[in-house]
């Protein structure tokens, strides 16, 4: 168990550093906005309270992010179908386009780093590692 804990901490730190490095080299969409658009794209419309809970942020922070996204036309709100006091936040086509550009830019940064850094054999190892990460993620969600 101790070996697994050390490996888990090393993995958490390495993945965190990789994600931070990728984001730092872009200078595009703020992280909070990309996260909200990603949630709406994957999970569908949500209330601001649901977005805040899912992201682990205060309601006010989620509301501010939604307001910024609405100003750019990346999200829109509609009345909740069963609770007239609530609004559902939806991703717009423009938001989906912006999110796809952001995802592509992040993938391009990683692809460039892979091409410049890893040998063909190391790329094969990384591919197998990605498969393991997917399995770990599925286990944690279950």
Model pLDDT for residues 100-120, shown as the tens digit of each residue: 999 998 889 899 999 999 999
Model pLDDT for residues 11-48, shown as the tens digit of each residue: 999 998 998 888 776 667 888 999 999 999 999 999 99
Residue 28 has phi, psi (to 5 degrees) of -105, -115
Instruction: Strands of 1-142 (E only): list them.
Output: 75-79, 87-91
- pTM of the predicted protein model: 0.80
Structural domains of the chain ordered from first start: 14-141 (1.10.10.10)
* 3-state SS assignment for residue 9: helix
* 3-state SS assignment for residue 80: coil
């Amino acid at each position: 168990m101790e070996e697994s804990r050390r490996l888990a901490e090393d993995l958490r730190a390495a993945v965190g550093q990789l994600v931070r490095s990728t984001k730092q080299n872009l200078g595009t969409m703020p992280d909070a906005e990309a996260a909200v658009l990603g949630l709406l794209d994957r999970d569908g419309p949500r209330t601001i309270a649901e977005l805040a809970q899912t992201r682990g942020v205060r309601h006010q922070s989620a509301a501010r992010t939604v307001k910024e996204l609405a100003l750019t036309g990346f999200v829109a709100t509609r009345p909740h179908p069963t609770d007239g006091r609530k609004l559902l936040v939806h991703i717009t086509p423009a938001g989906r386009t912006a999110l796809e550009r952001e995802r592509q830019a992040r993938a391009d940064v990683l692809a460039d780093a892979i091409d410049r850094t890893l040998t063909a054999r190391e790329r094969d190892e990384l591919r197998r590692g990605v498969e393991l990460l997917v399995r770990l993620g599925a286990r944690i969600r279950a």
